[in-house]
Amino acid sequence: MQKSVQNVKNSLKFKVAPRSGVLSVKVGVKKFALPLEARMLSNGEYLFLSFAASSELYTVSGKELSPMPSEMDATQAFLALNPGKRRGRRKRESVQMPPELEAALRSLPSGYKLGYGTDGTPKLVRVRSRKKAKS
């Protein structure tokens, strides 16, 4: 399905949180932050910029921004800029340990763990047993 530039601008406008201090202007040698709230999304190819009164969709080519004409197909820009919905937590996958490593860890004597010396060589280190503090 083809999306128009106007449809993409309307769709992206409310999916981005407004931020202040995003834009600045240089006057002489001083730089001033503009007191505007802007909504902005960007990647390497597209930039979406929205103010309270207007919004615009730009293409980035080299070091130039050029506004996309309203009759142009903006499907690629929408797919590139549209933030996906967060879908809760990811399911943890169980870790598969190689059998050689599992056998090596089982062969460690009781009361010891695997540690590393100052030169990076592995060595056995006595496990420190901590006693509970009296309350």
- Count of the separate structural domains present in the chain: 1
CA distance readout (Å), 80 to 6, 42, 117: 16, 9, 48
- The yes-or-no verdict on residue 91 having pLDDT over 80 is no
Residue 70 lies in a domain: yes
Residue 99 lies in a domain: no
Residue 133 lies in a domain: no
Report if pTM > 0.95.
no
What value does the mean pLDDT take over residues 71-99?
81
Residue 121 lies in a domain: no
Q: Which domain holds residue 15?
A: 5-81
Q: What is the residue-averaged pLDDT of the chain?
A: 81
- Tell me the pLDDT tens digit for each residue of 101-132: 888 888 888 889 888 888 988 888 998 888 88
Residue 28 lies in a domain: yes
Residue 17 lies in a domain: yes
- The yes-or-no verdict on residue 96 having pLDDT over 80 is yes
Residue 93 lies in a domain: no
Residue 127 lies in a domain: no
Q: How much is the pLDDT for 28? A: 64
- The yes-or-no verdict on residue 33 having pLDDT over 70 is no
